[in-house]
Amino acid sequence: MSTDQSPDHSPDRSTGTAEPAWLLVTRREVVSRITDKSFLIGTLLMVVMLVGFIGFTAWQDERTDEVTLGATPDAVAMATVVQEAAPEVDDKVQVTVVELDDAEAAETALTEDEVDAWLHPVDGGWELTSESSEQESLTSVVEAVVRQQVLAENASGAGTTVEELEAGSAVTTAFLRGDAERAAVAEAVGFVFVFLFYFAALIFGMQLASSVIEEKQSRIVEIIAAAIPLRHLLAGKVLGNTALAVIQLLIYLVVGLIGLSFTSYKSYVPALTGPTAWFIGFFLAGFIALACLWAVAGSLASRTEDLQATSTPLTMLMLAMFFGGLSLDGRSQVIASYIPPVSAVVMPKRILAGGVEWWEPLLALGLLAGFAVVTVWVGERLYRRALLQTGGRVSLRQAWSAAE
């Protein structure tokens, strides 16, 4: 008799009522993992890292970079201009000028860390010398101020003004879809979305596949199969791991949005809530499809050592999703945003950037959901037919054609 003809309900001894088998498995998956110390510690560490990164970003935004600029007598006037104009170029840079007697004194001051850099004239311009590493913030300020000052002096000598010399030279940027400022934020948040999806699908997927192999290798699955239909076992495992992944994802997203509200990017938080909600929807559909495939990868293996071989196509697919989500742009990004399962990470990035028509996410999510349904149907057949075969690694063709 087929193992899939077992009763669909198991009695709940505590209440005396029947409960769907898949719900029992789901609860077992959630409870066993959510009470596992490694899961809790891993989640906590990720939250701590996230809070630390956001805190560091906020501190960097508020921190003023205090730098000392050494100047020999032939550069004191220019250095003073740099000191006075620095706040206009970068309000996070505070320049203090230190007057030095000569080049030898300047080199000594650099060696003994009395100054961060030494400004002095050279043939054809000016040179900013540092001890062994470039002072990036100071360099940017000095380049801007010196350029403006020299232009003003040259313009005055030519009987004109800097404004007249630069008339018509301004270059601005514009996007056909969205705007440049939002695109920069979308790029950063989009990376987070792609990383979170890849991280969750890989970690939970590997754990799901490993649990399938452990049950198969220990032959516990044969006992389970005698009590409940295998499709219920698969559904419970997939739904349980999906619930755990979504819970963990929500924790990270909530912490991230709250943390972002304490940085200089807090004005973007309201605009990010909508795309974040869309990402959760795409994450859910994409994760269910991939979780089912991970279960199949586990069922095809007979030993833990076989998992690397049975999961290689799935791992390659996830890597393609990861790098595609990060690198695709333009027309290729638009096309990929409708192709499952890559659309799970690409469409949320497009939504973040703006300029997406209202029907586009709905169409992409519908296609992704359809892909998930087909994947679950195919995966369920492969899983049922491969799970109880213990004679070695099972190929996809063998699993598909095996008898019930």
**Are 95 and 86 spatial neighbours (Cβ–Cβ below 8 Å)?**
yes
Choose the weakest-confidence range: 50-64, 103-117, 176-190: 176-190
Q: Which of these, 67, 74, 68, 69, lies nearest to 120 by C-alpha position? A: 74
CA 30, CA 340: separation in Å to the nearest integer? 27
Indicate the average pLDDT of the chain: 86
- List, in order of start, the domains of the chain with CATH numbers: 19-58+176-401 (no CATH), 64-165 (3.40.190.10)
pLDDT tens sequence across 146-173: 988 888 888 888 888 878 877 887 776 6
In the structure, what pLDDT confidence band is assigned to residue 3 with cuts at 50, 70 and 90?
very low
Query: Is residue 182 over pLDDT 80?
Result: no
pLDDT tens sequence across 228-244: 899 999 999 999 999 99
pLDDT tens sequence across 4-44: 444 444 444 433 446 788 999 999 999 988 888 988 998 99
Q: What angle do CA 21, 26, 30 make, to 5 degrees?
A: 150
CA 81, CA 316: separation in Å to the nearest integer? 57
**pTM, 2 dp:** 0.77
pLDDT tens sequence across 285-310: 999 999 999 999 999 988 888 888 89
| pLDDT on residue 319 | 94
| pLDDT on residue 176 | 53
- Reading the block at residue 390, the tokens are 């213990």
CA 347, CA 366: separation in Å to the nearest integer? 12
CA 223, CA 215: separation in Å to the nearest integer? 10
Percent of the chain residues past pLDDT 70, beyond the cut: 92
